[in-house]
Amino acid sequence: MNTGTNMHDPWEPFFNEVEGDVKSLLREHGVEGTSLETPPPGMGDLALPCFQMAKKLRKSPQAIAVELGEKLGGKNYAVEVKGPYINFSYKREELLRNTLSALEMMGEDYGRLGRIGKRVIVEHTSANPNGPFHVGRARNPIIGDSLVRILRYAGWDVEAQYWVNDMGKQVMTLVWGVKNLSEEDLPPPERDKVDHIYVRYYQEASRRLEEEDVEERINHMLKEYEQALEDGDLKRHINHPKDKPTRAEEVKEIVEKVLGGMDSSLKRLGVVVDRYVYESQVVVDGTLREVISRLRESERSREEGGAYYLDFSDKPIHGKSKRFFFTRSDGSALYTTRDLAYHLWKLSRCDRAINILGEDHKLQSYYLREALKELGVEKLPEVVFYSFVSLPEGKMSTRKGRVVYLDDLMDEAVRKAKEEVEKRRKDLSEKEMDEIAHIVGIGALRYNIIKVQPEKKITFRWEDALNFDGFSAPFIQYSHARACSILRKAGEAPTPTVKFVERYQEEAELELVKSISLLPHAVYEAAKSARPHIIAQRAYEIARSFNEFYRDSPVLHAPGEIREARLALVLSVRWALSSALNMLGIVAPERM
């Protein structure tokens, strides 16, 4: 269990020592393959079950546990044999010492691990720029952004990328709509925001797509646009008035406008994108052309009516999906082909690539992966798939008008948070209450998404989405604010230091230290396995143990040395909680 985080992780000395000792002892006895596990609470911190060795050593597991247990013991751990189990406990003084030392060293950065010196690119959101975000896909930016933040804490150099689809029919449909429809053709926008204003053009244009000539016109525009891009001539006018912007310029302008509206929603959510990469880029810079010619040379490559595909009949996929078409019969590229070009570009710029995708992209992602292998790429992207958020009445659908927009959800969350603040804090100014309402409302929203595993489907219910109690962001934020309040009243708090090792004797204090001590390891795990909900859990546990400590151990009214040590502990809680919340993109308020 080498976490590679050395002095940042208080648990490492314990894990390393126990693991090392157990391994060599088992080797002496010629029994391998038994591994340490986490025992139930109250039974220590690591456990070694002895059932497996029973057959080989021809003794009862209980006898083996006793025998082996006697030979174990170390600087960091104590051993206790319980039936067929050997339990290892991290010695309190060592746990305290190592935790306090990490806190002392890291300060408010507690939870951050050492720099790895490697680069990871996280691609998330990448929603089509044709209208506002709806809740169905809201998991994407939340999972992606949290992962970005966690990876940064874990020591990676991270870049968050948004792959913008500025090609293809959906975009051209929007462009056609903007050019050909007028305000009278459209219902009033649901809100005064660019993406909401423009989505109406897209929706109406999509409806008219049923009409033959509209479809033809859009296809024509698309071809013209693609041709200009492929020729690398964005200034070229083809069948297009000379005194107007070119098609390419038009597309760019409209896409950027809509994207601007979408981006403001992301900003409000606290999501930060470092770089927008446009699909058209891979066409203009020639990467796409190169990918196509390399794919055509592949042994899997087949041709049918001028269209090219890779043949995956030998792979465990069936029916039509055995064939991955990468060009149309007119030679133009398809979406996944452009994605492939993007991935070549991306993978050459990082040590690790993570994509956040909706589960509907699984097959496409499989093609991408296999095609990359076909091109001789060894470093493949890791993919986090998430299931959709649906409504109790069914799947969200823009066309059927059965959607909850992210903007509305954020409004509602903030509104409800405002109500709650007003109930409790009559002393605050309107401005302060609004700030807190925003922090709490948005925090609750993000937390409710991130706390569950991405592959679970979510049915959207307002009462769940706006839950502010228990396992929720406000609970954690509240604990943080409580800690801040104590520190504020104390005026000054001593920095946690190993000198306080002896001063934490009460159960609630020890539990709290232990809870805090587990944060760095949680960061390591969450970053390694790309599972942000691990941090959500840890944050909750820390807040919970702090609330228990709060009940049992008075801080401000405690006598001299104890007060000092407890204040240092409260400061540690503040650091740990604000780090954890920060990793989830949730603001840690000083008061609420």
Partner RNA sequence: GGACUCGUAGCCUAGCCUGGACAGGGCACCAGCCUUCUAAGCUGGGGAUCCGGGGUUCGAAUCCCCGCGAGUCCGCCA
- Of positions 62, 217, 245, 335, contacts RNA by CB under 7 A: 335
Q: How many angstroms separate the CA atoms of 566 and 559, rounded?
A: 10
Distance in Å, CB of 243 to RNA, minimum? 30
Determine if 462 is a binding residue for RNA (CB under 7 A).
no
Sheet containing 301-304: order of strands: 301-304, 307-311, 323-327
Contact string (CB under 7 A) for RNA, positions 369-408, x = contact: ------------------xx-x----x-------------
Measured from the CB atom, the residue of 42 and 376 that comes closer to RNA is 42
Determine if 555 is a binding residue for RNA (CB under 7 A).
yes
Distance in Å, CB of 453 to RNA, minimum? 3
Please list the helix, strand and coil fractions of the chain in percent, rounded to the nearest 5, in that order.
Answer: 55, 10, 30
**Hey, which residues between 33 and 72 contact RNA (CB under 7 A)?**
37, 39-44, 47, 49, 51-52, 55
Q: How many angstroms separate the CA atoms of 330 and 332, rounded?
A: 6
Considering only the stretches 168-176, 263-271, 342-350, 373-381, report the one whose residues sit in contact with RNA under the rule CB under 7 A.
168-176
Measured from the CB atom, the residue of 100 and 486 that comes closer to RNA is 486
- Which of 31, 20, 28, 25 lies closest to 58, judged by CA? 31
Distance in Å, CB of 531 to RNA, minimum? 7
Distance in Å, CB of 405 to RNA, minimum? 19
SS3 sequence of 497-562: CHHHHHHCCCHHHHHHHHHHHCHHHHHHHHHHHCCCHHHHHHHHHHHHHHHHHHHHCCCCCCCHHH
Considering only the stretches 142-150, 263-271, 495-503, 525-533, report the one whose residues sit in contact with RNA under the rule CB under 7 A.
525-533
Measured from the CB atom, the residue of 367 and 500 that comes closer to RNA is 367
Distance in Å, CB of 491 to RNA, minimum? 12
Contact string (CB under 7 A) for RNA, positions 115-144, x = contact: -------------x----------------
Q: How many angstroms separate the CA atoms of 280 and 252, rounded?
A: 10
What single-letter DSSP state applies at residue 298?
S
Contact between 406 and 445 under an 8 Å Cβ cutoff? The reply is no
Measured from the CB atom, the residue of 106 and 504 that comes closer to RNA is 504
Q: How many angstroms separate the CA atoms of 354 and 107, rounded?
A: 30
How many residues does this entry show for the chain? 592
**Hey, which residues between 290 and 319 contact RNA (CB under 7 A)?**
304-307, 316-319
Distance in Å, CB of 274 to RNA, minimum? 22
Determine if 1 is a binding residue for RNA (CB under 7 A).
no
Measured from the CB atom, the residue of 119 and 168 that comes closer to RNA is 168
Determine if 470 is a binding residue for RNA (CB under 7 A).
yes
- CA 227 to chain CA centroid, nearest Å: 37
Q: How many angstroms separate the CA atoms of 77 and 124, rounded?
A: 43
Distance in Å, CB of 192 to RNA, minimum? 27
Considering only the stretches 105-113, 242-250, 343-351, 537-545, report the one whose residues sit in contact with RNA under the rule CB under 7 A.
537-545
- Which of 574, 423, 580 lies closest to 488, judged by CA? 574
Determine if 451 is a binding residue for RNA (CB under 7 A).
yes
**Hey, which residues between 81 and 100 contact RNA (CB under 7 A)?**
82-83, 85, 87
Measured from the CB atom, the residue of 227 and 390 that comes closer to RNA is 390
Helix (H, G, I), strand (E, B) or coil at 183: helix
Task: Go through 81-114 and write b for each residue having 16 or more CB atoms within 10 A of its CB, e for each that does not.
Answer: beebbbbbbbeeebbbbbbbbbbbebeeebbbbe
Contact between 557 and 490 under an 8 Å Cβ cutoff? The reply is no
356: left (phi over 0), alpha (psi -120 to 50) or beta: beta
Considering only the stretches 115-123, 252-260, 533-541, 580-588, report the one whose residues sit in contact with RNA under the rule CB under 7 A.
533-541
Distance in Å, CB of 2 to RNA, minimum? 14
**Hey, which residues between 189 and 218 contact RNA (CB under 7 A)?**
none
Distance in Å, CB of 332 to RNA, minimum? 8
Contact string (CB under 7 A) for RNA, positions 13-32, x = contact: --------------------
